[in-house]
Amino acid sequence: MAKCTIRYWAAAREAAGTAEEHVEAGTLGEALEAACRTRAEDARFLRVLEVSSFLVDERPAGRRAHRDVAVAEGTVIEVLPPFAGG
């Protein structure tokens, strides 16, 4: 397991109640699961994650399964909800 930082932007920050947090994980999926464990009863947080895009060390995770996106010590995961506007 690696220590990672999850940074939340816009609506994700509001739903998470913090701008960032630190988790231990081996994949993007495990990191998101760790974040969800502390907010298991928060349907809003879960909904925001469902529609968000993710950057892992500034690279888009894209449509890859979260369990297939490896993270390493010091990885930064950014949670980007859909933004309004054009």
- The CATH number of whichever domain residue 73 belongs to comes to 3.10.20.30
Q: Is the residue at 86 inside a domain?
A: no
pTM, to two decimals:
0.93
- Residue 85: predicted pLDDT: 56
The answer to whether residue 29 sits within a structural domain is yes
What is the per-residue pLDDT for 84? 61
What confidence score (pLDDT) does residue 29 get?
97
Residue written as token pair 């939340």: 8
User: What tokens appear for 45 in the block?
Assistant: 């947080």
Which domain does 42 fall in, by range?
Answer: 2-80
pLDDT in tens, the chain (86 residues): 999 999 999 999 999 999 999 999 999 999 999 999 989 888 999 999 999 999 999 999 999 999 999 999 999 999 999 986 55
Evaluate whether residue 85 is within a structural domain: no
Evaluate whether residue 25 is within a structural domain: yes
Q: What total number of domains does the chain contain?
A: 1
Residue 3, both tokens: 């220590």
Residue 67 lies in a domain: yes
Residue 50 burial (10 A CB sphere; 0-12, 13-18, 19+): exposed
